[in-house]
Amino acid sequence: MKFLIRIAITLILGGLLVLPVVHSQTRPGSGARPPITPAGRLEDIEVFRDEFLSQVISYTAEARAEAERRLAILESQVDTSSDPEFELELARIVALADNGHTHYVSHSISRYYNRVPIRLGVFGEDFYVLRAMESEVDLLGARLIAIDGHDIVSLRNATRQLWGGLNTWRDRFAFDYLESPQLLNAMNLAAASAAAVYRFETPNLLNAS
């Protein structure tokens, strides 16, 4: 599937260039699988409860009670939740264990969902474009400031719920979610699952054309 990026320069503030990037189409996920059926979700929850939740000792008593409560809610929603909503909630439940070793592997999620044709990396608490298409090299080094009107603080807070451990560790894996409009939409961070508006800030015209 082809994808299209439209870039427009809208504002220059304090020597910084702000670029809104509209990813009107995205690449599909690299993996392929049929949708998860309600029956399949119930089976997944049964295995999750019996072979993971009841076995992992990392949960505090309060965290385990919250995990069981949220899993029961998810179980009641197997007919209505979307695939990304289902998987993201499992990731949040796993993250309640709150350590860097117990997590729902993000690549297991992101490989099945669309992604925009840029790749982000984290430095400190900010996310920067590390890779981009040749036609969009102006974005290399640009700092992400918002997606669909949600500022970076909101984006960080949402993705940090998907991993346990220190925030610096959680942020290392946020790109898997931030690069996918489908996953962002399931987290209420994008208005649509097929596209999103990414806003970037670049240093004083160094990469602007």
Assign residue 127 the CATH number of its domain.
2.30.42
Same domain, 121 and 56: no
Please give the pLDDT value at position 133: 81
Distances in Å between the alpha carbon of 172 and those of 129, 160, 188?
14, 10, 21
Query: What global pTM score does this model have?
Result: 0.80
What are the structure tokens assigned to 92, written together? 């949040």
The H-or-E segment that residue 121 falls in is: strand 118-123
The average pLDDT across 17-40 equals: 62
Burial class (CB in 10 A: 0-12, 13-18, 19+), 56: middle
Task: Indicate if the pLDDT at residue 205 is higher than 80.
Answer: no
Higher pLDDT, 101 or 168: 168
What's the number of domains the chain is made of? 2
Same domain, 138 and 165: yes
Q: How far apart are CA 61 and CA 67, in angstroms?
A: 10
Task: Give the pLDDT band of residue 206 (cuts 50, 70, 90).
Answer: very low
Strand partners, 20: 199
Tens of pLDDT, residue by residue over 180-198, are 999 999 999 999 999 999 9
Domain with 169 in it? 5-31+116-202
CB 4 within 8 A of CB 135: no
The average pLDDT across 3-8 equals: 29
Q: How far apart are CA 153 and CA 167, in angstroms?
A: 12
Please give the pLDDT value at position 109: 72
Please give the pLDDT value at position 104: 83
What are the structure tokens assigned to 35, written together? 């949708």
Strand partners, 131: 119
Task: Give the pLDDT band of residue 156 (cuts 50, 70, 90).
Answer: very high
Task: Give the pLDDT band of residue 123 (cuts 50, 70, 90).
Answer: very high
Same domain, 122 and 195: yes
Distances in Å between the alpha carbon of 12 and those of 5, 20, 23, 208?
21, 12, 21, 11
The average pLDDT across 118-144 equals: 90
